[in-house]
Amino acid sequence: MQLTLQSPYDMHLHLRDTPMLEAVAKYTARYFSGALVMPNLNPPVDCLDLALAYKERILKACGDSTFTPLMSLYLTEKLDRAQLKMAKEAGIQFIKLYPKGATTGSESGVSAILAPKVLEVLEVAQDLGVILSIHGESNGFVMEREAEFHSIFAELATTFPRLKIIFEHLSDHRSIALVEKYDNLFATLTLHHITLSLDDVIGGALNPHCFCKPILKTPKDRDALLQVALSAHSKFSFGSDSAPHLQANKECAKGAAGIFSAPLLLPALAEIFDAHHRLENLESFVAHNAQRIYHLPKTDKIVRLTKKSFKVADSIGGDSIRSVVPLFAGRTFSWDYEC
């Protein structure tokens, strides 16, 4: 049994920088037409010059001319009308808003989201047709953070009706109705939030490799999000939020948030869609929805998957980055890429 996917996109990806970048870029570049690259480096990618230089490093690390890194600018206090205009003219279509302190690499994020200076930048983004991606979490109780952020999405979606807003990595079933309510609000779904729950993090032995922000939630949340993905709901695109960290930085007292899923994304998705008899919707979920929502080209890249067993590596790495442990390390899936 075989499956072809034309021009898939990963609309939320962390590629990091050298040397991690060199180790992880190939997993995405080979199988996706493009990916929205997150700007939460240290220092953040918060101006045009940094974004263009980072794009060059990514292209070099990918070594695959059929992959397009879609660059985003980190929304800091520094970003102003002139900088955003220049970035848009240079082809940058995305800005990413991190609430300060909400997650990995959010130290330079925004502390008052509805402050006049931020709203002014969003108004410019709306005028320029720049898309706003948001890590939507408050700093409240960990299981309520996403829901507590809903009022900000509502406010922004109403104030800027022509601004396309992306609610990143949905984790809470209550967010689905919110996305459906506003015409200009869309969302991404990760592999981990549609397949795992908090039990996978702390239900047995502590598993730091399943620790991410927003935290995995209840089985009810997971199942509702999975249904949205399986139905290829037109407002939701696939965004892996693959976020590699060194094994040593995950398995320690201050374990970093982030799940590294890039090496297994499409085989794992094929297995899930197959198990639920929805294989016919997978291409819409990983390709058509992103093409339509973000106005991305359908390229000639065709990814072929076949029903044969595929074992996820226990870890990846080498001399320069030591070890990174992928999601589902050691597990065997029944779908694989066709070589």
Comparing CB distances to Zn ion, the nearer of 10 and 241 is 241
Catalytic residue among 241, 274, 314, 336: 241
Tell me the CA distances in angstroms from 86 to 37, 74, 117, 128, 162, one per residue in order.
19, 15, 18, 11, 20
Question: What is the nearest approach in angstroms of Zn ion to the Cβ of residue 14?
Answer: 6
Should residue 190 be labelled a site residue for ligand DOR when binding is judged by CB under 6 A? Answer: no
Tell me the CA distances in angstroms from 68 to 2, 35, 51, 75, 283, one per residue in order.
26, 7, 14, 22, 19
267 near 333, Cβ under 8 Å? yes
Should residue 119 be labelled a site residue for ligand DOR when binding is judged by CB under 6 A? Answer: no
CA distance 164 to 126: 8
212 binds, among ligand DOR, Zn ion, none (CB under 5 to 8 A by kind): ligand DOR
> What is the pattern of x (binds ligand DOR, CB under 6 A) and - over residues 277-316?
----------------------------------------
Segment interacting with ligand DOR, rule: CB under 6 A, options 21-29, 102-110, 151-159, 246-254: 102-110
> What is the pattern of x (binds Zn ion, CB under 5 A) and - over residues 204-243?
-------------------------------------x--
Question: What would the two tokens of residue 298 be?
Answer: 């359908």
286 DSSP assignment: I
Binding to Zn ion in span 30-59, by CB under 5 A: none
> 3-state DSSP helix/strand/coil percent for the chain, to nearest 5?
35, 20, 45
Binding to Zn ion in span 128-147, by CB under 5 A: none
- Residue with the closest Cβ to Zn ion? 241
> What is the pattern of x (binds ligand DOR, CB under 6 A) and - over residues 229-268?
--------------x-------------xx----------
- For 199, other C-beta atoms within 10 Å of its C-beta total 14
Among 5, 8, 14, 21, binds ligand DOR (CB under 6 A): 14
Whether 314 is a known active-site residue: answer no
CA distance 169 to 189: 5
Cβ neighbours for 307, distance < 8 A, ≥ 6 positions apart: 1, 2, 274, 334, 335
Question: What is the nearest approach in angstroms of ligand DOR to the Cβ of residue 20?
Answer: 11
Cβ neighbours for 262, distance < 8 A, ≥ 6 positions apart: 13, 24, 27, 28, 240, 242, 244, 326
Question: What would the two tokens of residue 210 be?
Answer: 């399943």
105 binds, among Zn ion, ligand DOR, none (CB under 5 to 8 A by kind): ligand DOR
Q: What are the residue numbers of the active site?
A: 241
